[in-house]
Chain A
Amino acid sequence: MRVLYVFALLALLGQGTGEEGARLLASKSLLNRYAVEGRDLTLQYNIYNVGTSAALEVELSDDSFPPEDFGIVSGMLNVKWDRIAPASNVSHTVVLRPLKAGYFNFTSASVSYLAQEGGHVVVGYTSAPGQGGILAQREFDRRFSPHYVNHSSFQTIGMVIVDFSQRPLTKLPVKSLDTTSFKGFSLFVLFSAL
């Protein structure tokens, strides 16, 4: 009987000292290899409930993106979930479009929830991706666009040069030049225009 009393006491103590209720951990990350002005920027928020009971009235709110610097392509920056079950996670995605190039500090979003039914509101923050560079459209194109115009005009000029170099040049003031050196010269001219 005494053992029963001891157990009951321990159980009560356990209730008091242990952390009951929901506990949310949240991350915010960029799903982009490059952030480019005028192109889609994908953000993903993940919220994990590592507590022992469901988190209620969870609200995620991100106001770290000034509307004059970022346009919204899809998704909402202020959302809520009615409940997040214990030992589960939810994910939320938003797609923005940077309107200006340059450095931008991606800071945290805030998450508020009730750890227990009728409890007080807990406010936390997501992780922050940190400082990142948004490439200007021109710089990104220089590295990654297919450069169709550059290549086709180079080939066309190359063909013209090659054609002329095969004709007899006795009447022209320039001496006949080797095809490779002409191609090299026009290559230099074209790429220096970038």
Chain B
Amino acid sequence: MTENAKEGESCSDPVITPSAYTTSDAVISSESVFIVELSLACTNGAQSVALYADVNGRQFPVTRGQDVGKYQVSWSMPHKQASSGTYQVKFFDEESYSSLRKAQRNNEDSDSIQPLFSVNVDHRGAWNGPWVATEVMAVLIGILLYYLAFNAKSTIQA
């Protein structure tokens, strides 16, 4: 299928300013989301660089913001699958992305394709609430105290 796609500009010596967000509260949110925003500056002044992201084998297109050089990639997964740790997000331009897809189609080693740059996202895991509800702890402690008091009372009165 031929199409007259805009020639993706290539970026030389990319300089990025990334910032990342991951879900930290699993009580309020129903899924864990990951967001990576970045500003990209290229020494050759290229402005409309098309980027593609790859995270642990999942590929996403990278959206562009209103301002030049601003990009965002985001994905979501259920809390159970979003294990804590570092997620490496590799960013590819048109050329390296098509080599990546080709390598995947031919079942070649896709890790050898060099990304344009990559960003590491630290996910600390989402807080699910305390393991034991505090009300349960309070009841147990209350019962324990009553038992100790009752024992003390019996030994005093005995």
A residues touching B (Cβ–Cβ < 8 Å)?
31-34, 36, 39-40, 42, 44, 54, 60, 73-76, 78-84, 90-95, 117, 144, 146-148, 151, 154-155, 158-159, 162, 165-166, 179-180, 183
Closest to B51 in A: A82
Q: Is B87 an interface residue (CB 8 A)?
A: no
- A residues within 8 A CB of B148? 162
Closest to B133 in A: A146
A34 to B29, CA, bound (A): 7
Beyond A40-B25, A146-B133, 5 additional pairs, beta carbon < 8 A: A32-B28, A32-B30, A54-B3, A155-B141, A155-B145
- A179 lies within 8 A of B134 (CB): no
Query: Given A54-B3, A75-B74, A151-B137 in contact, is the A33-B29 Cβ separation under 8 Å?
Result: yes
Q: Find A76's partner among B31, B61, B72 (CB 8 Å cutoff).
A: B72
Q: Is the interface of B mostly helix, strand, loop or mixed?
A: mixed
Closest to A75 in B: B35
- A92 lies within 8 A of B28 (CB): no
Q: Is B76 an interface residue (CB 8 A)?
A: yes
Q: For chains A and B in complex, what number of residue pairs have CB atoms within 8 angstroms?
A: 123
- B76 lies within 8 A of A91 (CB): yes
- B28 lies within 8 A of A183 (CB): no
- B residues within 8 A CB of A146? 129-130, 133-134
- A80 lies within 8 A of B63 (CB): yes
A162 to B5, CA, bound (A): 80
B123 to chain A, nearest CB (A): 13
- B33 lies within 8 A of A93 (CB): yes
Q: Is B66 an interface residue (CB 8 A)?
A: yes
Task: Report 18 cross-chain contacts, Cβ distance below 8 Å, ordered by A residue.
Answer: A31-B30, A31-B31, A39-B28, A40-B24, A73-B21, A74-B19, A78-B65, A79-B64, A79-B66, A81-B61, A82-B61, A90-B61, A92-B72, A93-B75, A146-B129, A147-B135, A158-B145, A180-B146
